[in-house]
Amino acid sequence: MTNQFETSQHMHDGAVPPSMNHGGHELFDVHEVLNTAVGALNQSMILRPHVKDPELLDILDRQYRFMLDEYNITVECFKTGKDPSHPTQSYQMKVGSDFVYGMKEKAPSKPIQSTNEISDEIISGFLLGSAKKGATGKAAAALETCNPVVRRVLADSIPNCIEMAYELSIYQNKHHYYQVPQLNTQDMNILLNSFAPSQGQPSMPKNLQ
């Protein structure tokens, strides 16, 4: 009863200890983010022995090390409610950002029948899916987070997930695993020019109160 009373009193006074400065939705959503991160790290470890392409292996290792550090500081600030031991870093790709557009015929995808069929295409697809899930999960959690430090750590890590996903999609595109269709020039121009910037100063409606 004492702890419950003290917590209620802290909340009433606005003096919640940092380690308890978390809302219910925040706890559930950050828990899901951390579970997703553990799953992505474990998946990378399991798939690593099956990688054949040195370039993909380099991507996997660099992203693994970065994700592990980011996981650790997220756990740290989540448990303490305070700044982690170091700020969130920025993930840097090694490759350029050139995409090959257009579709070419390829064999339809289907489930594999044994682990002997695990390929770099499948592995890079798993890694890409994990990065995308990390971005959406962290965005959703950040929007529900009360603790300012945890919110900032989550928000700052979203661009890293996007960068990792981008790096993997470029890798997949280069090897024709991930093909990008493109509209014809006329349709593209119609969509590109379907919006125009607002000109001048808007006349704001008067407050009716």
127 within domain boundaries: yes
Q: Which two tokens stand for residue 82?
A: 């305070």
Residue 10's pLDDT is what? 46
Q: What CATH number does residue 84 fall under?
A: 1.20.1260.10
**Predicted model pTM:** 0.87
Span 161-173, mean pLDDT? 96
The whole domain housing 57 covers 22-95+119-177
Total domains in the fold of the chain? 1
Question: Residue 23: which pLDDT band, with cuts at 50, 70 and 90?
Answer: confident
Q: Quick check: is 200 in a domain?
A: no
User: Quick one: pLDDT band at residue 95, thresholds 50, 70, 90?
Assistant: confident
- 197-to-31, 83, 190 alpha-carbon distances in Å: 42, 40, 16
Tell me, yes or no, whether 10 lies in a domain: no
Structure-token match 């995308």, residue found: 132
Residue 2 lies in a domain: no
How confident is the model at residue 121, as a pLDDT?
96
The dihedrals phi and psi of 102, each to the nearest 5 degrees, come to 115, 160
Cβ atoms 33, 74 nearer than 8 A: yes
Residue 184: pLDDT band by 50, 70, 90 thresholds?
very high
Weakest-pLDDT range from 5-9, 40-44, 144-148: 5-9
Q: Is residue 72 part of a domain?
A: yes
Does the pLDDT of residue 88 top 50, yes or no? yes
- Domain presence at residue 113: no
pLDDT band at 21 (very low <50, low <70, confident <90, very high): confident
pLDDT for residue 6: 39
Higher pLDDT pick, 128 / 9: 128
3-state secondary structure 143-192: CCCCCHHHHHHHHHHHHHHHHHHHHHHHHHHHCCCCCECCCCHHHHHHHH
> What values do phi and psi take at 101, rounded to 5?
-95, 155
Mean pLDDT of the 161-169 span: 97
Residue 114: inside a domain, yes or no? no
Which band of pLDDT confidence, cut at 50, 70 and 90, is reported for residue 97? confident
Tell me the backbone φ, ψ of residue 84, rounded to 5 degrees: -70, 175
How many helices (H) and strands (E) would you count in the chain?
6, 0
AA identity, residue 83: D
Is 131 inside any structural domain?
yes
